[in-house]
Structure 1
Amino acid sequence: MSGRIELDRPRCEGHGLCEEAAPRLMHLDDDGDLVIDVEEVDGADLEAAKAAVRVCPVAALRLVSA
C-alpha cells in the first residue's frame, strides 16, 4: 500500500509534532511553516506518515491512498 500526504496549510499552526513523528518526510522551516519533503510514501515511510497525521492537534494533515 502507498499513500500521499496532504497538508491543509491554513489549518497548520506549526506545532511540530508531525515533524517529530516523521522527520524524514517533513520539517518546519525558519518561519515555522510546515514543508512536506516526501509526498508519496510507502513501507516504513507510510507508517511514519500515519503517525504524523495522528499526532497533529489541528488535523492539518491527511493521508490519501495513492
Structure 2
Amino acid sequence: MAARIEIEGDRCIGAAQCVLSADKLFDQDEDGFVVVLNGEPDGEDLEDARTAAMICPSQSITVVED
C-alpha cells in the first residue's frame, strides 16, 4: 500500500506531538513548526504516521493512502 504524508503548515501550532510519536518521520524547523523527513512511510513508519496524524492537536497532518 502506498502512502504519503501531507502537511497543512499554516495550521501547525508547534506542539511537537508528531516528533514525539514519530521522530523518524517528523522534525521541527527553527520556528518550531512541523517538517516532514520521510513523506512516503511504509511498514512500522506508516503506523507511526497514522498515530501522529491522529494525535496532532491542530490536525495539520494527513496520511493519504492509495
Which TM-score band (shorter chain)? Answer: over 0.9
Question: Runs of 5+ in structure 1 lacking a partner?
Answer: none
CA displacement at 1:34 relative to structure 2: 1.1
What TM-score results when the alignment is normalised by the length of structure 2? 0.92
CA displacement at 1:31 relative to structure 2: 1.5
What TM-score results when the alignment is normalised by the length of structure 1? 0.92
RMSD of equivalent CA atoms? 1.0
What is the percent sequence identity of the aligned residues? 38
Question: Runs of 5+ in structure 2 lacking a partner?
Answer: none
Q: Is 1:23–2:26 an aligned residue pair?
A: no
Q: How does 1:1-66 map to 2 (within 5 A)?
A: 1-66=1-66
Q: Which runs of 4+ in 1 moved over 2 A?
A: none
Aligned residues: 66
Greater strand percent: which structure? 1
CA displacement at 1:43 relative to structure 2: 0.3
CA displacement at 1:29 relative to structure 2: 2.0
